[in-house]
């Protein structure tokens, strides 16, 4: 992924976490940072997603879908319940497909990421969904 996209995403995520002392990846999702009740943390998180989406908007293929879904996650935050969950699920499935298509290393990244998601949902390991989310994002940034 272009350096500006990675920098925008990582900077806004870091800023949102700094504004959210209650948040930790072992107990929450990344989307919890975007809740309207999170004040400046939500502004940083959702604003960063919107900027990331805009920076990706001229992409092709699956990254074009990632851009659209990222914008929707920013606009339809966790406070929208199931609607947000469906969009966020589509985003992470699209990211997994993007990772998987990136050769042997991508297949390793996608399979290990999927295993982490399955472990979270079936075994509660890790307990917070932010860990599989961050792991998937790491692979997407690494291979873009």
What's this model's pTM, rounded to 2 decimal places?
Answer: 0.95
Nearest to 88 by CA among 26, 140, 6, 31: 31
For the beta carbon of residue 83, count every other beta carbon within 10 angstroms: 12
**Residue 1 binned pLDDT confidence (cut-offs 50, 70, 90):** low
The model's pLDDT over 108-143, given as tens digits with 9 standing for 90+, comes to 999 999 999 999 999 999 999 999 999 999 999 999
For the beta carbon of residue 43, count every other beta carbon within 10 angstroms: 16
**Residue 3 binned pLDDT confidence (cut-offs 50, 70, 90):** confident
CB-CB contact of 113 with 132 (8 Å): yes
| Distance of alpha carbon 49 from alpha carbon 116, whole angstroms | 23
């Amino acid at each position: 992924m272009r350096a500006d996209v990675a920098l925008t995403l990582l900077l806004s995520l870091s800023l949102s976490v700094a504004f959210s002392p209650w948040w930790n990846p072992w107990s929450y999702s990344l989307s919890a940072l975007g809740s309207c009740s999170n004040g400046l943390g939500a502004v940083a998180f959702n604003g960063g997603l919107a900027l990331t989406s805009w920076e990706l908007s001229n992409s092709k293929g699956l990254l074009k879908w990632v851009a659209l879904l990222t914008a929707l996650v920013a606009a339809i935050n966790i406070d929208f319940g199931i609607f947000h969950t469906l969009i966020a699920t589509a985003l992470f499935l699209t990211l997994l497909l993007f990772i998987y298509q990136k050769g042997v290393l991508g297949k390793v990244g996608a399979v290990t990421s999927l295993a982490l998601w399955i472990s979270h949902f079936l075994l509660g390991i890790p307990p917070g969904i932010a860990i599989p989310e961050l792991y998937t994002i790491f692979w997407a940034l690494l291979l873009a």
